Amino acid sequence: MKKAVVLLSGGIDSATAAVIARKDGFELYAMSFLYGQRHAVEINAAKHIASFLAVKDHTIVTINLSTFGGSALTTLVEEVPKNRGPRDSQDEIPRTYVPARNTIFLSYALGYAEVLGAQDIFIGVNAVDYSGYPDCRPEYIAAYETMANLATRAGVQGSRIVIRTPLIALTKAEIITLGSNLGLDYAITHSCYDPDSAGGACGLCDSCFIRREGFKSAGLPDATRYANRQD
């Protein structure tokens, strides 16, 4: 059984990427990050997903990207954007972008994969219904994969590292439909950037908007408890 490292944030996309990896016959080694984000609700969701998928191992790495700031997700000083609705342009990079986050996460996953002897890394990036982040684009993933095979012993010795992005060209509705068909329970996932003290979704941030519209377009029930519903 081939091993795969799966980056597991606790959200819809990473959970769906993980269930696809399992379907494809990989033994899953999940990796999540406490990176100085505003809340740990997503880590609890990642734990539930890891248990649901019966991963071989779930590693939670603690780093502190709030040292540098630069994002509404890594500081309490800057507010998370709310009530923006559909975004007019994919060229806009919102304040919730965390500088170099996927590069850092993939680098940890790359090191872990080398130790495990795994050649496959799954990440749930999406270039369709995404939030304008530059590190979710196909050209970024292609460039990172090239670097990974130049920078590692595994790559140099012929054990090619593959960055797998099974969701990159799918809409959120297509992702939700796919995961549901594979038996994934989205009630255990979390998307909100700014949940309340009980972990409830705000219903107003970009991520809540994309999640809610995804379920609506898929014609599937959304079990998320939103503090503010915009239906």
Residue 89 pLDDT: 43
This prediction has a pTM of 0.94
Cβ-Cβ contacts under 8 Å for 168 (sequence gap 6 or more): 125, 126, 127, 128, 136, 138, 141
Could you give the CA distance from residue 122 to residue 6 in angstroms, rounded to a whole number? 5
Report yes or no: 46 and 30 within 8 Å, Cβ to Cβ. Answer: yes
Could you give the CA distance from residue 72 to residue 111 in angstroms, rounded to a whole number? 28
Side-chain half-sphere CA neighbours of 113 within 13 A: 30
pLDDT band, residue 88 (cuts 50/70/90): very low
Cβ-Cβ contacts under 8 Å for 103 (sequence gap 6 or more): 135, 144
Per-residue pLDDT tens digits for 69-82: 899 999 887 889 88
Residue 92 pLDDT: 75
